[in-house]
Amino acid sequence: MLKFLVEKLIGSRNEREIKKLWPIVEKINTIYETYHSLKDEDLIKKTEEFEKRIRDGEDPFNILPEAFALVKEATRRLCGKKWEVTGHMWEWNMIPFDVQLLGAIVLFQGKIAEMKTGEGKTLVATMPLYLHGIIGRIKGTGVHLVTVNDYLARRDRQWMGPVYESLGLSVGVIQNEMDNARRKIEYQKDITYGTNNEFGFDYLRDNMVYRAEDRVQRGHYYAIVDEVDSILIDEARTPLIISGPVEYSSAEIYKAMKPLAENLVRKQTQLVTQLLFVAENLLRQGKEFEAAEKIIQAKLGMPKAKKLFKMLQEPGVMKLVDKVELELMKEINVGGEKTKRIEELKEVTFISGLTRNPIPLK
């Protein structure tokens, strides 16, 4: 009874969250009106401007109204144009409604947006994918749209592709029959569509290769999952398993490498624990940038560490790390050659004889 009265007076939690987003929707629409006068080539220049501002340290959420308005403007300019989608000519006739802008904001924040069939989920995804695609370009990882089958992945890439391309972003798709060379090309795109199985098996195969250059995927910064309940609950009950013939000689190699690998993991764990301990002390001293550097080093060395995950859940830490990571992606001049500060951090993090500062294993 009390819960009913509270919700009657101030609304449910969901209603309150949505109410906070309406001013952003209004701002998007206001900016959208000003974009009508831009030339087509100016849309790509705006994307370049957004990328520069993010590289310079601006919070991407501050850019969101402008970015989403630009996507909306791109969809307006495509109205009446036709192109081929899965073998049939399709005429574009969609411009995001306000409720779709709401859904796009929610998805950008990494939350779940529930929408019924026919309410334009495919169009909604273009806006967060666009802005995160710019961030992914800076991070060197790209972003992904996960759907339930090859046909939908191919259809949505062909259907929405012109929206991204008119804004200067590249878009690809992963299909079951593709070889590794083609997959690698598609993963190099700013935005890649594919199924949960293809993305999952590519991830598993990438963890079995001996050389980093043989991997097809670049990284896993951001993804939108279509039919999230089906993919993360129903289909997740079926494990992804890779099997194949194993040569007898590999058993001997395993025996020889096992103690070395265990020692490597132990040293890596010690290093990451030490980095996070230092980061905690730096945070207490108010040295946020230095603390974030240590956390990023730990993330590079052992991204699944429990202590790291716990630290990233603390208020403001994830936002701080993202901000500093973008700062570290800026190019600097070292000995006449351009490099990135984050590359220097990697050398301290990874225990390998290939770095200029290797950490001894014994």
The residue out of 214, 237, 260 marking a domain boundary is: 237
Q: d(Cα 2, Cα 300) in Å, to the nearest integer?
A: 48
Question: Which of the pair, 16 or 353, is modelled with greater confidence?
Answer: 16
Q: 121-139 vs 40-55: helix axis angle to the nearest 10?
A: 50
- Asked if residue 94 belongs to a domain, the reply is yes
94 and 124 share a domain?
A: yes
Residues in CB range of 178: below 8 A, 6 or more apart: 186
**10 in a domain, yes or no?**
yes
How does residue 347 score in pLDDT terms, banded at 50, 70 and 90?
A: low
Q: How far is CA 223 from CA 22, 127, 144, 190, 204, in A?
A: 24, 13, 5, 12, 17
Q: Strands, E, within 157-290: which ranges?
A: 171-173, 191-195, 222-225
Gap between the Cα atoms of 285 and 283, Å rounded: 5
Residue ending a domain, among 237, 264, 283, is: 237
- Measure the CA–CA gap between 163 and 75, rounded to whole angstroms: 6
Residues 160, 259, single domain; the answer is no
Same domain, 259 and 317: yes
Say whether both 140 and 260 belong to one domain: no
Q: Whole-angstrom Cα distance, residue 186 to residue 8?
A: 50
Give the pLDDT score at 344: 64
Tally of domains in the chain: 2
Note down the domain range covering 124. 2-237
pLDDT at residue 353, rounded to an integer = 42
Instruction: Look at residue 48 and tell me if it is in a domain.
Output: yes
At 241-290, the pLDDT tens digits run 887 665 555 677 888 888 999 998 899 899 999 999 999 999 999 999 99
Across 9-33, b (16+ Cβ under 10 Å) vs e yields eeeeeeeeebeebeebbeebbebbe
Same domain for 224 and 261, yes or no, is: no
